[in-house]
């Protein structure tokens, strides 16, 4: 049976929702248990080491992104020979990258005593944790590079199912091993073991899904294809540097201007916020391959129409998400971990501001990637430099709040001011004025909905949300319902929202006929 793009996106979203809901429920209990059993310094160490390894993984430099953009057309045409050639090329690239990361990781290990001079943890534990995480990250470069085919073919649900299943089993095993042995080494070893098992299962699943996949005897890409791939790889490499600057250096700057304990407190918030973010907004991640397939049809009016529908849906979802998190996160942390773990509301506001900016920009980024528009290499260089400079200056002056503000400012400067112009100019071949006019209406509607919802919420005789989980659930339900209704009412007349409404009605009544 041939699935439409909408059906595949919905399947990805359904699987993601179920597995992420289970993982989030488990994280609710496991994070608290790990804090008590392992301590804030160790969890802060784990988060910081993960970000150090993210620096090494920067060597990947967007090979997966470029590969996906090259696969959309062959997948649409079912050109198995060309797909095998592309995957074979990817395998060679990833093996080289894996070797480079392994060598660099060994060299970086010598600096660990300087990076963590006084954490209260022994250096053998730090080294064991580091090399276990390093080995786990290297597995994907040598064995799981073929999963990019699942991404491009709108089968991300396969990756989600295997990854989240192994994650759930891993956490349960870690809880059990801590109760039995109280060993940090055993807890760390399970991290590595889970990565190995996940790799084996995912590789087996890929072979079953694509029995024709054979990279050993795959034909070489022609000269033009290789040149195009090489050119895009160089361009995307610069974009990945900016992404690393935005996503992976934040914890390092927070640690530089505070402590591992503050990193752990920040991690408590992010553990819940990112889990909820994945749960609520995973639908949009699954849309990337659908957008790539849509763009491969070369139908610009249709692409623009879908663009505004995705904008409407994404802005609605992320706005409701941010509003609810701002109102319930502090009482939730109080009930979950205790008042000593609650961050100031200003810091929470900056965290959520970053979440909003990153998610709101994603529709433009998705379409740029689908069109293969990576040539604006000056933009990520500017963004990365601005982020690092502002993080250093504002972090020194204002601490953690300064680091978070720096991230938001650098995102806004490039993602909101340049990227839409680039997409409309080079992708849609349309003037960007229509984008600014319509997106301004979205922002005004979001602000007005926030103001009105706050007034309506204050008028309700609700018990304080920190009184207990029943009170928190009631408060969260009222907060979500009020803001969602007010925002939907204000967004309804806007471009994209009307077409989206008609599509949703059509999907409810005729789900099999709904195609983008």
Round to whole Å and give the CA distance between 321 and 313: 12
Taking residue 222's Cβ as centre, other Cβ atoms within 10 Å add up to 11
pLDDT tens-digit readout, 94-120: 788 888 888 888 888 888 788 777 667
* Torsion, CA 250, CA 252, CA 253, CA 257, rounded to 10: 140
Q: Contacts by 507-510 with C-beta closer than 8 Å and gap 24+? A: 507/6
pLDDT on residue 515: 43
- Give the DSSP letter string of 354-421: HHHHHHHTHHHHHHHHHHT----THHHHHHHHHHHHHHHHHHHHHTHHHHHHHHHHHHIIIIITTHHH
Strands, DSSP E only, in 77-202? none
pLDDT value at 486 more than 50? yes
Q: Does an H or E element contain 96, and which?
A: helix 80-109
Round to whole Å and give the CA distance between 170 and 196: 11
Which tops the pLDDT comparison, 243 or 389?
389
pLDDT on residue 481: 94
Which tops the pLDDT comparison, 76 or 482?
482
pLDDT value at 64 more than 80? no
Buried b (16+ CB within 10 A) or exposed e, 69-97: bbbbebbeeeeeebbbbbbbbbbebbeeb
Angle at Cα 469 formed by Cα 465 and Cα 473, nearest 5°? 70
pLDDT on residue 252: 74
- Name the pLDDT band for 360 (thresholds 50, 70, 90): confident
| Per-domain boundaries in the chain | 1-231, 298-516
pLDDT tens-digit readout, 238-288: 777 667 666 667 767 877 777 767 777 887 788 778 777 776 666 666 676
Q: State the average pLDDT for the chain.
A: 81
pLDDT tens-digit readout, 41-53: 777 777 777 766 6
Of these ranges, 102-116, 133-147, 439-453, 499-513, the one predicted with the greatest mean pLDDT is: 439-453
383-408 average pLDDT score: 87
């Amino acid at each position: 049976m041939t699935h439409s793009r909408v059906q595949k996106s919905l399947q990805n979203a359904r699987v993601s929702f179920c597995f992420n809901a289970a993982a989030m429920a488990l994280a609710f209990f496991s994070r608290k248990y790990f804090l008590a059993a392992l301590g804030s310094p160790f969890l802060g160490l784990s988060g910081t080491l993960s970000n150090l390894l993210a620096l090494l993984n920067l060597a990947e430099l967007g090979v997966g992104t470029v590969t996906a953009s090259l696969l959309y057309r062959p997948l649409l045409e079912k050109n198995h020979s060309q797909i095998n050639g592309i995957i074979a090329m990817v395998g060679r690239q990833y093996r080289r990258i894996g070797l480079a990361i392994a060598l660099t990781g060994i060299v970086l290990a010598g600096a660990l005593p300087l990076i963590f001079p006084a954490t209260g943890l022994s250096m053998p534990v730090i080294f064991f944790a580091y090399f276990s995480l390093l080995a786990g990250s290297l597995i994907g470069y040598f064995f799981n590079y073929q999963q990019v085919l699942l991404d491009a073919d709108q089968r991300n649900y396969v990756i989600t199912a295997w990854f989240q299943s192994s994650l759930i089993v891993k956490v349960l095993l870690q809880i059990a091993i801590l109760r039995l042995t109280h060993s940090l080494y055993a807890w760390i070893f399970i991290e590595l073991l889970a990565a190995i098992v996940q790799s084996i299962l995912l590789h087996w699943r890929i072979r079953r899904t694509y029995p024709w996949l054979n990279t050993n005897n795959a034909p070489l890409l022609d000269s033009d294809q290789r040149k195009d791939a090489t050119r895009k790889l160089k361009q995307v490499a610069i974009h990945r540097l900016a992404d690393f600057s935005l996503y992976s250096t934040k914890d390092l700057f927070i640690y530089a201007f505070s402590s591992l304990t503050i990193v752990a407190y920040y991690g408590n918030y992010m553990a819940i916020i990112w889990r909820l973010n994945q749960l609520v907004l995973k639908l949009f991640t699954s849309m990337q391959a659908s957008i790539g397939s849509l763009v491969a049809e070369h139908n610009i009016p249709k692409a623009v129409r879908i663009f505004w529908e995705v904008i409407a849906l994404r802005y609605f979802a992320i706005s409701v998400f941010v509003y609810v998190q701002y109102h319930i996160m502090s009482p939730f942390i109080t009930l979950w971990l205790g008042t000593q773990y609650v961050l100031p509301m200003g810091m929470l506001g900056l965290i959520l501001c970053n979440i909003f900016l990153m998610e709101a920009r994603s529709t433009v980024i998705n379409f740029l990637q689908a069109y293969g528009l990576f040539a604006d290499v000056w933009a990520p260089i500017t963004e990365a430099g601005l982020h690092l400079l502002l993080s250093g200056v504002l972090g020194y002056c204002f601490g953690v709040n300064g680091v978070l503000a720096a991230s938001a400012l650098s995102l806004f400067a490039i993602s909101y001011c340049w990227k839409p112009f680039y997409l409309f100019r080079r992708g849609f071949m349309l003037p960007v004025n229509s984008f600014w006019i319509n997106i301004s209406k979205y922002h005004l509607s979001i602000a007005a909905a926030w103001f009105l919802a706050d007034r309506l919420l204050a008028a309700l005789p609700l018990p304080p949300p920190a009184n207990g989980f029943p009170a928190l659930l009631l408060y969260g339900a009222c907060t979500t319902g009020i803001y969602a209704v007010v925002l939907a009412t204000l967004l309804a007349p806007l471009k994209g929202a009307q077409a989206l409404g008609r599509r949703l009605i059509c999907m409810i009544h005729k789900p099999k006929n709904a195609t983008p």
